[in-house]
Structure 1
Amino acid sequence: MQSVTPDYDLSTHDYPNSTDDELCDMNPHPVEVITTTYIHSFICAFGLMGNGLVMVTYIFYKRTKTMTDVYLFNVAVADLIFVVALPFIIYNEQYNWLMGRVACKILRSAYSINLYSGMLLLACISSDRYVAIVQARRSFGARSRTLIYSRLICSAVWVFAVALTLPTLIYTERFEEPDLEANTVTVMCQLSFSEGDTAKVMKVLVPSLQMAIGFLLPLIMMMLCYSSIMCTLLRAQSSQRHKAIRVVLAVVVVFIVCHLPYNVALLSHTLDLFKQRSCEAEKIKLRALAISRSVAYLHCCLNPLLYAFVGVKFRSHFRQIMVDLWCFSKKYIYSARSSRGTSDICVSGLRTSDGTNNMSSFSA
């Protein structure tokens, strides 16, 4: 079995020094593989459920959308791309990438697209909430009229994310590495380079972009915007103030807890790429990368809870979805007479969804 290796990992001929003059065996312990599989399966299941509900709500129930709504919908799309790809990544890594070279490239690129688009969109959400709360008087009535700008911004974010993913898409390859000691062949899917100069540049460029744009830029934006929002909320005389402050703190703390360990491990790994390192030290670093990256993956499950389900209006739409699902299920279970009655209820539920109210920036 092959572990979940980083996208920027070692090239074909780059191995840490071994004390036995043999290639270092980087394969993980079977227990680690099984644990990682269960964790990623959990992330996949809850990520599909949460982000799918966000998309259904915004498509069918929330007809009038603010700028934040557009950003949240695109965040859900970005997270959904990754959680859909995650089961295929798990399957291929356990069965030597049976789906081939094209699947190797596409699946490895899915995380990069999710990382760049999702993190940049979260930065856009923080700036939009800053305008809505801190600059509320100046922006009153203007945000709903600038909805087209949010769509243009989202389009630009997606184009930028695809451009940043191109190195991963181009240089990721499926290749076989013989294990002389076990007399087997290990199939890997990771960055691989034919030229030494290209390898040196890409080994630094890819993780540096991930850290700079996938973590530091949105973190700085969130810290600046949410600190100003916190000051404004503390001055406000509102019964909802304390709940709103807790939501702000939760957004920032969860972001840091999920992504800081992975980026610290990534930075340490990148700084040591061109140094001589022992086999055991390399195993420890790769294990730390795998664990911290799984924690980072959790963020795609938590985004719907942190950004969508905190809104009162969104929760009311979600409850309406549950009512309608119950109605439609009864339609196919009971007789024609009862199904006619439940059908009327379902249609009325859809029609009474309030499409005119905007979701509060921080509702409890």
Structure 2
Amino acid sequence: MAFVTSDYDFSTDENYPDDDLCSLNLSPVEVITQTWIHTIICVFGLIGNTLVIVTYIFYKRTKTMTDVYLFNVAVADLIFVVALPFIIYNEQNSWLMGPAACKMLRSAYSVNLYSGMLLLACISGDRYVAIVQARRTFGARSSTLIYSRLICSAVWVFAVALTLPTLIYTERFEEPDLVAETVTVTCQLSFSKNETAMLMKVLVPSLQMSIGFLLPLFVMVLCYSSVMRTLLRAQSSQRHKAIRVVLAVVLIFIVCHLPYNVALLDHTMSLFKQRSCEVEKFKLRVLAVSRSVAYLHCCLNPILYAFVGVKFRSHFQQIILDLWCYSKKYIYSARSSRGTSDICISGLRSTDGSNNMSSFTA
């Protein structure tokens, strides 16, 4: 049973001194633990992001720039959580779905990473404009909605472009495991030329760390620090809760993504050095654990950016009410069914769409 611990595992026998035989496969306990963790991430990420998408499509009629960004973040996270069960299945079953699935599934996380992180940076920029530059932009934000859609389109194109190395060089191949005396089927970056390998070994993780983490973090810290200064000066009963939300957004982003990027940086810097089998095993375990922590962010995004808003929560409550009404439609008699249907339609129509939801309003 193969379970690849890293998308950036370029190790070969020549990396280890004294021609040691080294098996980097996870133990059965580690496989089961990671499977359960990823399953939980998948379930909660699927529920949360689906609710965000449904709310924005059917219940929130007036869209702001933040709404457009949040919708696209939910789509990016949903792509990944849908792909995650297939990744788990293939890693535990020697990639039975073939080379095409190997390429597409490995690319799913990369697209999610770049698009999701850049869109979160866009949200922080939009919150800066809405709160810090509120007087200068008053009355003009609704007319710039088209720009948010263009920005989202550009982010998706950029994310796909940055994912191309992963899509092109990821291969499914078999290699003998001399320690376990079995054949290990892996799906990871593979290169036919040493020059290309040396370049991509550094380029791919470097792009992930710089554009997928450092750039969004820099933008978020810059924008949200200005937002917090403005909120601290404001005489509002809601400012303390808004400040807590801002702090939570930044801190959870750092907690989720900093460990993985530090582990990835350490792993990348040691690629061209000899290292012992035990050290390599330890580094890959740390990389796998921190990567699972990074995956958690796709579950937390709906809570941090959508459900903190009163208007969004009211739309979510309307979803629950309508689901309850429509379920009664198939239980009661024809007469009560007709009355229940009328209630559901009137409830849906009564939802107020003429709001500018802020992610930092109570």
Same fold by TM-score greater than 0.5: yes
Identity %: 82
Alpha-carbon shift at residue 109 of structure 1 (Å): 0.1
Q: How many residues align?
A: 362
Find the counterpart in structure 2 of residue 36 from structure 1: 34
Query: Which moves more between the two structures, 347-356 or 212-221?
Result: 347-356
Secondary structure at 1:334's aligned position in 2? coil
8 Å Cα contact 1:71/1:124 also seen in 2: yes
Find the counterpart in structure 1 of residue 91 from structure 2: 93
Listed one character per residue, the Cα deviations across residues 14-68 of structure 1 (whole Å, up to 9, x for unaligned) are: 653055x343100111111100000000000000000000000000000110000
Matched, 1:53 2:51: yes
8 Å Cα contact 1:18/1:24 also seen in 2: no
Listed one character per residue, the Cα deviations across residues 315-343 of structure 1 (whole Å, up to 9, x for unaligned) are: 00000000000011111122222211111
Aligned counterpart in structure 1 of residue 140 of structure 2, from 142, 164, 184: 142
Alpha-carbon shift at residue 5 of structure 1 (Å): 2.7
Query: Which moves more between the two structures, 177-186 or 107-116?
Result: 177-186
Alpha-carbon shift at residue 10 of structure 1 (Å): 0.9
Letter in 2 for 1:297: Y
Does the C-alpha gap of structure 1 residues 15 and 190 become closer, same or farther in structure 2, counting only changes over 3 Å?
A: farther
Counterpart-to-counterpart distance in 1, 2:334 and 2:13 = 68
Counterpart-to-counterpart distance in 2, 1:62 and 1:82 = 24
Query: Which moves more between the two structures, 268-277 or 175-184?
Result: 175-184
Find the counterpart in structure 2 of residue 74 from structure 1: 72
Find the counterpart in structure 1 of residue 126 from structure 2: 128
Counterpart-to-counterpart distance in 2, 1:14 and 1:63 = 59
Give 5+ residue unaligned stretches, structure 1. none
8 Å Cα contact 1:120/1:214 also seen in 2: yes
After TM superposition, the score normalised by the length of structure 2 is 0.98
Alpha-carbon shift at residue 300 of structure 1 (Å): 0.2
8 Å Cα contact 1:16/1:282 also seen in 2: no
Letter in 2 for 1:210: Q
8 Å Cα contact 1:132/1:361 also seen in 2: no
Secondary structure at 1:333's aligned position in 2? coil
Letter in 2 for 1:267: L
Counterpart-to-counterpart distance in 2, 1:181 and 1:229 = 56
After TM superposition, the score normalised by the length of structure 1 is 0.98
Matched, 1:344 2:342: yes
8 Å Cα contact 1:67/1:150 also seen in 2: yes
Find the counterpart in structure 2 of residue 17 from structure 1: 16
Give 5+ residue unaligned stretches, structure 2. none
Written as runs of structure 1 = structure 2, the 5 A alignment for 1:75-224 is 75-224=73-222
Structure 1 stretches of at least 4 aligned residues deviating more than 4 Å after TM superposition: none
Does the C-alpha gap of structure 1 residues 14 and 252 become closer, same or farther in structure 2, counting only changes over 3 Å?
A: farther
Secondary structure at 2:172's aligned position in 1? strand
Alpha-carbon shift at residue 2 of structure 1 (Å): 2.0
Letter in 1 for 2:263: A
Alpha-carbon shift at residue 183 of structure 1 (Å): 2.5
Query: Which moves more between the two structures, 172-181 or 313-322?
Result: 172-181
Aligned counterpart in structure 2 of residue 254 of structure 1, from 252, 255, 271: 252
Alpha-carbon shift at residue 180 of structure 1 (Å): 2.6
Aligned counterpart in structure 2 of residue 330 of structure 1, from 315, 328, 331: 328
Counterpart-to-counterpart distance in 2, 1:14 and 1:59 = 52
Find the counterpart in structure 1 of residue 5 from structure 2: 5
Counterpart-to-counterpart distance in 2, 1:237 and 1:91 = 53
